[in-house]
Structure 1
Amino acid sequence: MTLADSAASPLCIAFVVLHTSPIDEPGTKDAGGMNVVVRAQAEELAKLGHRVELITRRQDTTSRALSELAPNLRLHILDAGPAETIEKGDHELYIDEFREQLRPLLEELDVDVIHGEHWFSGIAALPLARELEVPLVQSFHSIAAKDSSPLADGERAESPGRLAGEAMLAKESDALVVISDAERHTAVSRLGANPEHVKIVPPGVDHDLFYPAEHSDANTSRRKRLISAGRLHPLKGFDLIIEALALIDEQIRPLLVIVGSAPPDSTAYETSLHEAVERLGLADDVLFVGPKTRAPLAEELRASDIALMPSHSETFGLVSLESASSGLPVIAYRSGGLQESVLDGVTGLLVDSRDPAEWAATITRLLTDEALTRKLSEQARQHALEMTWQASAEQLLAVYRELTAASFDTVDAAHE
C-alpha cells in the first residue's frame, strides 16, 4: 500500500469514553457537552465512511454489550467495576480493570487510531496504543484546577491521580485535541503540552434541531423566560443566577427555567438550589424541569428569551452555541472558553463578576432593551450557522490522517 492509498482509505477509529456513555443524554448522570461532542463527531465520521467504535464502561445490568447505532457506528460496553452509575471520581479505581477488558477488544477491531475522551480513558488506553503501535489522540474536555484552587460549595475534590494523569497524557499522547484556544492555553501552560501537538477542533451545532421560534405580536405581552441548562453541579453556578433573579424588579422579573439533574456527587448541591428558591421567595419564579433529551431541550430553548451560562469555567460551553442557534442571546461569565463561545456584544453579553447584583443588572438590561436583545438574537443565529458538525468532524479527521500517515511512514521505514 502506498502513502496515498493509506491517506484515502477509511479508518477504524476507537473512541474510548470510560466514565460516561456517549449515548447518555446531557444533564443526566455525568453526561454533558462532552457526550454531545463525541457522539456528533462519531456520527459524522461514520457518514464519511469511517468505521467508528464507541467504547464505554457498563453502568447497568440490562444494556447489550454491543449495539449498532448507525451504519459504521457501534457502541461497546465493557464490564469494569460495579454495573451501576458511580461518582465520577471513583472511576479511577477501575482504570486497570477497564484496560484489561479493552485490550482484546482493540486487538479484535484492528483499530487505526484511539481517541481517549477525558483523562480516565486516556490512562486506560495509552499502554494499549503503544502495544498496538497505533496513535493515541487525547481530549480532556475539562482540565483539573491546581491543588491550591478553592472548591466551590458542595464540590468534591478531584480524584487523586487526575493532576498527574493529565500531565502525563499531555506529554505522552500523539496529539491533544482541544475545543477552544482557552483550553489549548491551559494544556500548554498548566500541563506542559507541546504546543505543536495541540490541535483546536471547534464543535458544531445541529441547526435543524436548534432553530429560533417564530414570535408573533400576540406573544409580546407574555412573561419573559430565562433558561440555563446543564448538570446541577457547583461548577455550573446555578446558585448565582437564583440569587440574581431575586434582585430583579418584581414588575419585570422573568421565569427562570433550569434544565438538568445532579450527577451522583452533587445531590447536596441540587438540594441547596431548591432551598435557595424557598429562602428567597422565588417559588413562582423558578422552574426545575429536570434533564431533557435533545429535542425537548431545543423546545425549551425556543420557548425562552435569554440563555444564561453562569459556570465558573467551561472549555467551550456547548449549550451557549445551541442557544445561539435557537436565536437566544447568551449572558455568560467571562472565563475560559465562554469567552469564545459567546461573542461579547455580538451574540450575547459577558459578565466580569460573580456578584448577583451585576448579573441582575445585565439580565435587566436585556429584558428592557428590546432592540439590543433582537440584534443579539439575530447575530447569534448567524454565528451559529457557521458552526457545523460536518466541519468539526473533518477537522478531527485531518488530525487522525496526519498521525496515521506518520505511523505509516514509520512502519514502512522499518520494513525497508
Structure 2
Amino acid sequence: MSVTGGPSRLRVGFVMLHTSPLDVPGTKDAGGMNVVVLAQAEALARAGHAIRIFTRRADPAAAARVELTPGLEVVHIDAGPARLLAKAEHEPVMAEFGAQLAAELAREPADVLHAEHWFSGIAALPVARRTGTPLVQSFHSIAVPEGSALPGERPESPGRLAGERRLAREADALIAVSEAERGTIVADLGGAPERVCVVPLGVDTELFRPCHTRECAERDEWFARGGAAEVIAVGRLHPLKGFDLALDALAAIPAARRPALRIVGAPPPDGDDYARGLHEQAARLGLLGSVAFEGALPRPELAARIRRATLMVVPSHTETFGLVALEAAASGVPVVARAAGGLREAVRDGETGVLVRGDDPREWAAVIAALLDDPERMAAMSRAARAHALGRSWGASAESLLAAYRGLLAARAGAGPVVSDGAAGARATRCG
C-alpha cells in the first residue's frame, strides 16, 4: 500500500475503557469488539507499527504494561475502583480515565487515537483536542432510545444517546464494520457520510477451520448410529443475543428430530438475571436433556467446538456485523441467523446459511429442521461458507484501517486524498 500522510511507522493508541483485550470473549463485557480490536492491533504491529491499547484497570494485580507481541502493548489506566464494573458504572469514571490517558500521551504521543465504544470516545475526545491528535471512533453497537420499537442495544447509562451523537459529529473519522452500521451512523447519529469509513472485518482461517476427518471421527460415528445433530450458539448471555428465541425454536422441533443445542458464553457483570432465566426456560420447555450451557471458552476451544457443530444459530436482535457468523463460515459450518444489521452481510442468504425474518420460533424451527434434513444442501453451504471466509483476513482488515488513518493524516496535513496502489485492503476502505 502506498499512501500519503504521516510517517511510514504510525503510533496508534486504541482506547478501550470498559473492557480489556486480555479478557476472554464471552466473559465480563468482552465480545466481538475485543476480538476485532486485538486482531487488528496484532496485524498492525506485525506490519511494523507501534500499537498501544489503553484500558481501565479492573484487577489490582494487573501489570501497568503488558507486552503482547513486539510492537503491541496493553496499558492499564487507573480510573475508578480496580474491580470489575457493571456497564452502567463506567460513565462516572470517563473523566478520570481521560485525564490519565492525557498523562500517558504526554509521556509518549500517538499519531492517531482510535476509540472503541462511546465510553472510550467521550473520554478520549477532550484529550485528542488538547493534544491535536486525530480521533477515530468505532461504535461496535449503537443504542436506541428507551421505548423505541426498533431492535437494538438499550442505553446502559444516561449519557449514551447524546454521547454517541456527539462523537458522530465531532470525531475526525468514524469506522463502521458493515454497510448496515454505516447507514445507522449516518441516519441515526448524524455522521457525515464522507467521514464514515467501512473497514471489513477479517477472520483467522487457521484457527477457525473445518473439522478434519480424524478429529471428528467420534461425531461422525455418533451420526452413523442415529445420534442427534448439534447446533451451537455463541455470545454473551445478554437479551440482545436472543438465546431465548433459540430455546423456543428448539422446543418447536419434534423430539424425534430435535438437535442438541450447545450455548457458549457467560453473562456480563449485570446479566445474571437473563442467564438464570435461560436455565429456567430450558427446564420449563423440557429441554434439559437437549441443551448444554458451556460458559465462555478460550478461543482455541471455541474454534474446536464450532467446527464439531453441524449448524450455528445467531438469533441476535441486532449486530453491527456478526463476527461469530464469519467464524462459523471459516469452520465450514452453515449459519441460521436473523436478517438484521450486519448479519445480512456476514451470511450470504441461501449460499452460506439462511437469514430468518421475525421472532416466530416455529419459523426458526422449520428452517433449522429443513437444513438438518438435507445433508447435500448442508455440504454445499459448508463449502461455500469456507470459500467466503477465505476471502477475509485480518491483514486486509488492518490495511483498510491503516488507509483510513493515513487518509485522515493526509487531510490534516493538507496533502489531499489518499493515494492507493490498489491493494485489496485499500480498495475495501470506503469513506463517503
TM tier relative to shorter chain: over 0.9
Quote how far apart the aligned CAs of 1:372 are: 1.0
**Which among 376, 379, 387 is matched to residue 374 of structure 1?**
379
C-alpha contact (below 8 Å) 1:78/1:98 kept by paired residues: yes
- Residue deviations 1:25-62, cap 9 Å, x none? 11000000000000000000000000000000011111
Matching of residue 166 in structure 1 with residue 164 in structure 2: yes
**Which among 235, 256, 269 is matched to residue 264 of structure 1?**
269
Structure 2: distance between partners of 1:198 and 1:129: 19
**Which among 217, 226, 230 is matched to residue 225 of structure 1?**
230
Structure 2: distance between partners of 1:264 and 1:111: 32
Query: What residue in structure 1 maps to residue 47 of structure 2?
Result: 48
CA RMSD of aligned residues (A): 1.8
Quote how far apart the aligned CAs of 1:220 are: 3.6
Query: What residue in structure 1 maps to residue 93 of structure 2?
Result: 94
Gaps of 5+ in 1: 411-416
Aligned partner of residue 396 in structure 2, secondary structure? helix
Structure 2: distance between partners of 1:130 and 1:148: 35
Bigger shift: 225-234 or 103-112?
A: 103-112
Quote how far apart the aligned CAs of 1:353 are: 1.6
Q: How does 1:14-413 map to 2 (within 5 A)?
A: 14-149=13-148, 157-215=155-213, 218=221, 220-221=223-224, 222-409=227-414
Quote how far apart the aligned CAs of 1:214 are: 2.8
Structure 1: distance between partners of 2:99 and 2:160: 20
C-alpha contact (below 8 Å) 1:209/1:295 kept by paired residues: yes
Quote how far apart the aligned CAs of 1:409 are: 3.5
C-alpha contact (below 8 Å) 1:156/1:265 kept by paired residues: no
The TM-score normalised by the length of structure 1 is 0.95
Give the 3 Å change call, closer, same or farther, for CA 4–199 of structure 1 in structure 2: closer
Structure 2: distance between partners of 1:232 and 1:151: 21
Query: What residue in structure 1 maps to residue 421 of structure 2?
Result: none
- Residue deviations 1:66-110, cap 9 Å, x none? 111110001000111111111112211110111111111012121
Query: What residue in structure 1 maps to residue 426 of structure 2?
Result: none
Structure 2: distance between partners of 1:262 and 1:4: 43
Structure 1: distance between partners of 2:312 and 2:146: 32
Quote how far apart the aligned CAs of 1:160 are: 0.6
Structure 1: distance between partners of 2:3 and 2:237: 49
Quote how far apart the aligned CAs of 1:7 are: 4.3
- Residue deviations 1:271-314, cap 9 Å, x none? 00000111011111000011011000001001100000000000
Gaps of 5+ in 2: 416-432
C-alpha contact (below 8 Å) 2:140/2:320 kept by paired residues: yes
C-alpha contact (below 8 Å) 1:134/1:407 kept by paired residues: no
Taking CA–CA contacts closer than 8 Å with sequence separation of 6 or more, which of the two structures ends up with the larger relative contact order? 2
Structure 1: distance between partners of 2:145 and 2:386: 36
AA matched with 1:180: S
Aligned sequence identity (%): 53
C-alpha contact (below 8 Å) 1:151/1:157 kept by paired residues: no
Between the two proteins, the alignment pairs up a number of residues equal to 407
The TM-score normalised by the length of structure 2 is 0.91
Aligned partner of residue 49 in structure 1, secondary structure? coil
Structure 1: distance between partners of 2:265 and 2:146: 28
